[in-house]
A and B are shown apart, each in its own frame.
Chain A
């Protein structure tokens, strides 16, 4: 192929040197995260497909056993996660505006929301185990534990990401305009929220 070599002009500065330019990195990271989120949805998609199949096959079983789920805790957790998505969005906004303190505050609130969600979920599971309701009880509970459990793992991963973002923010990384991580991390947290928004009615609000 015929090629020439780029001059050392400003036009190609972004493609020069060892690192990539901030603009390219930012675009690439966001694009990459969107792709990754797509795979996450497909991962849960498998479970949703199984849910659809078994619910069509055993509608009564699903109606009967969903009544044993703790609706109050479910509703509470839904609001906690929705609120955390809101605070996460604010954290991203303030990071972009280089407000270090506000970013810290809202990241911390988001983290606490995640923790509250996890604690409530812990009590929900513990209560079920006391009643000897395990995943092996029936298909409904197998699906309940699989979906909410997998979601829980995602909440934990999200919380670890938020901790890392807090660390970066403390070091002043976002103030220097390199706010890509917080945006990408925010996207991930919104996905965790989104999946719950689907899980909640599918599990708690049947019939």
Chain B
């Protein structure tokens, strides 16, 4: 229904106004979304480089690239902190959520546009604090476990302060999105007609609100512990180092779903469009996001099965961990069933979405190994965990993110990229990713511990393979980045609705006008009415 696209003469793209203040002080959710996108992409690439350096070091068992083990430890701390706190947590939620939520629900902006701008600037302040921390980086790992983080001489305060500040940004954004979805849906956009990306963003926002304050107070306690010499986590002063782990994972496990649920939303948008089929089991997908969000608050102890927790606690948390796998499995089956009797087009974004299904399945299934208590004892803190985590975070979230980049690109910029190059870079990313991380499952089962700057010789062949894979992956991402940047300068103007999507954001010119909708649309059917007679 591309009839809404025809731009009238007064149409002015949201990108039209130029100048620094027109961007820095904008309250336009689309511009804020683009600013987030650029910032998080920068941190993604920076964190990717630290990963390549680590993999390069791990080519040989001895230390040869870095001059001290502490340098390696700093590298993995930076990699983890940048990826988790600066890219993947705010990543899809803040960048794509900002751009898409109002467009998809038929609103002119988010509920609190000025607060939205504030969130972005708070985020930026956090990143600036982090950048200064780069001069004196910490070596604790992104988990900042006590008592090591209290004892170490490296500068833990700056990096945790940066993360603490980011927390405010997350909370404000989450609140903004929840209110937006509740109050600003266009007439006729009932809850059961909402695009699944909105459901996913909504579940994510709730997680952000509930979990972020806890990590905020945890990091604040850590900062106080280091600066005021108090002893919440210090056994010598009567404190308890395990308390930190409890606090930290109470946030950080739901945070895993803050990272991945938006990707579920993206996949649920891309697949129906390119299969020209309604999403299979709409309610199951929508509600399972909530099931995951809720259960995710009650599984944090599964990160601590070998820390000496009681058997009963371990049993309960292992059981709940298994429960999370159920809604996750349902989603995978639903996406698969959506393809049945469809008309499938292999656009680059669809390739990412399909590889998401495959990789996320592996990520999810290997999570079951780790949920089984006795097996977790063996696998905990080995490369198996590293591989599992990356299959969920890259195979899941990042594949979804890349898919989104290619899918909504024409919508954002009114331009298009070279599709053939995009497919080629997808192939490199897919192959490179698997070559990098699949050997790590085996390495982990054989006992290779994580966070080792040097390692016993028997693991070398797997490490070498993994490093080669990281080069392929790096090359793929590099080509993808160049292709996407080059697209902005291309003259190719895509059709208004190139995929014949039924979702609201495609029923308007690309790039969208500043005010989104001249007249607020009235919605008469759900987003996925493909092939409806």
Question: Direct A–B touching in the complex (beta carbon < 8 Å)?
Answer: yes
Residue numbers of A with Cβ under 8 A of B are: 1-6, 8, 12, 15-16, 18, 20, 24, 27-29, 31-32, 35-36, 38-40, 42-47, 49-50, 53-54, 57-58, 61, 134-136, 138-139, 142, 145-146, 150
A50 to chain B, nearest CB (A): 6
Which residue of chain B has the shortest Cβ distance to A48 in the bound complex?
A: B217
B487 to chain A, nearest CB (A): 27
Given contacts A15-B520, A32-B179, A135-B224, contact A1 B212 (CB under 8 A): no
Determine if B524 is an interface residue (Cβ-Cβ < 8 Å).
yes
Chief secondary structure at chain A's binding surface: helix
Which residue of chain B has the shortest Cβ distance to A49 in the bound complex?
A: B247
Given contacts A53-B240, A136-B230, A138-B238, contact A4 B524 (CB under 8 A): yes
Does the CB pair A1–B523 fall under 8 Å? yes
- A1-B503, A12-B187, A150-B220 known, 6 other contacts, Cβ within 8 Å: A1-B529, A16-B519, A28-B184, A38-B209, A135-B229, A136-B229
B297 to chain A, nearest CB (A): 11
Given contacts A32-B112, A39-B213, contact A134 B521 (CB under 8 A): no
Determine if B403 is an interface residue (Cβ-Cβ < 8 Å).
no
Does the CB pair B213–A46 fall under 8 Å? yes
Residue numbers of B with Cβ under 8 A of A are: 1, 4, 106, 108, 111-112, 115, 171, 175-176, 178-179, 182-184, 186-188, 193, 209-210, 212-214, 216-218, 220-221, 224, 228-232, 237-240, 243, 247, 502-504, 507, 515, 519-527, 529
B402 to chain A, nearest CB (A): 26
User: Residue B183 contacts which of A2, A27, A139 (CB distance < 8 angstroms)?
Assistant: A27
Does the CB pair A43–B217 fall under 8 Å? yes
Does the CB pair A46–B228 fall under 8 Å? no
Q: What residues on B are CB-neighbors of A12 within 8 Å?
A: 187, 520
Does the CB pair B214–A18 fall under 8 Å? no
Q: What residues on B are CB-neighbors of A2 within 8 Å?
A: 1, 502, 523-525, 529
C-alpha gap A49/B111 in the complex (Å): 33
C-alpha gap A7/B6 in the complex (Å): 18
Does the CB pair A3–B213 fall under 8 Å? no
Does the CB pair A6–B504 fall under 8 Å? no
Given contacts A2-B525, A28-B183, A146-B221, contact A50 B112 (CB under 8 A): no
User: Residue A46 contacts which of B108, B231, B247, B504 (CB distance < 8 angstroms)?
Assistant: B247
C-alpha gap A28/B185 in the complex (Å): 12
Does the CB pair A4–B176 fall under 8 Å? no
Does the CB pair B519–A146 fall under 8 Å? no
Which residue of chain A has the shortest Cβ distance to B532 in the bound complex?
A: A2
B110 to chain A, nearest CB (A): 10
Does the CB pair B187–A6 fall under 8 Å? yes
C-alpha gap A110/B230 in the complex (Å): 34
Does the CB pair B228–A134 fall under 8 Å? yes
Q: What residues on A are CB-neighbors of B243 within 8 Å?
A: 50, 53
B1 to chain A, nearest CB (A): 6
Q: What residues on B are CB-neighbors of A49 within 8 Å?
A: 247
C-alpha gap A147/B1 in the complex (Å): 57
A52 to chain B, nearest CB (A): 11
Q: What residues on A are CB-neighbors of B188 within 8 Å?
A: 3
Does the CB pair B187–A36 fall under 8 Å? no
Does the CB pair A136–B520 fall under 8 Å? no
Q: What residues on A are CB-neighbors of B108 within 8 Å?
A: 18
User: Residue B209 contacts which of A29, A39, A44, A58 (CB distance < 8 angstroms)?
Assistant: A39
Q: What residues on A are CB-neighbors of B111 within 8 Å?
A: 20, 28, 32
User: Residue B232 contacts which of A24, A36, A50 (CB distance < 8 angstroms)?
Assistant: A50
Does the CB pair B182–A31 fall under 8 Å? yes
C-alpha gap A58/B229 in the complex (Å): 19
Sample of 5 A–B contacts (CB below 8 Å) = A2-B502, A6-B522, A32-B111, A45-B214, A54-B238
Does the CB pair B521–A5 fall under 8 Å? yes
Which residue of chain A has the shortest Cβ distance to B224 in the bound complex?
A: A146
Does the CB pair A1–B527 fall under 8 Å? yes
Given contacts A6-B519, A139-B237, contact A47 B213 (CB under 8 A): no
Does the CB pair A5–B519 fall under 8 Å? yes
A89 to chain B, nearest CB (A): 24
Q: What residues on B are CB-neighbors of A32 within 8 Å?
A: 111-112, 115, 175-176, 178-179
Which residue of chain A has the shortest Cβ distance to B246 in the bound complex?
A: A49
Which residue of chain B has the shortest Cβ distance to A8 in the bound complex?
A: B519
C-alpha gap A6/B521 in the complex (Å): 6
User: Residue B214 contacts which of A3, A40, A42, A57 (CB distance < 8 angstroms)?
Assistant: A42
Q: Which of A38, A50, A146 has the most CB of B within 10 A?
A: A50
A199 to chain B, nearest CB (A): 14
Which residue of chain A has the shortest Cβ distance to B112 in the bound complex?
A: A32
A147 to chain B, nearest CB (A): 10
Q: What residues on B are CB-neighbors of A45 within 8 Å?
A: 213-214, 217
Does the CB pair B232–A42 fall under 8 Å? no
B190 to chain A, nearest CB (A): 12
Does the CB pair A42–B213 fall under 8 Å? yes
Does the CB pair A47–B524 fall under 8 Å? no
C-alpha gap A24/B112 in the complex (Å): 11
User: Residue A1 contacts which of B187, B216, B504 (CB distance < 8 angstroms)?
Assistant: B504
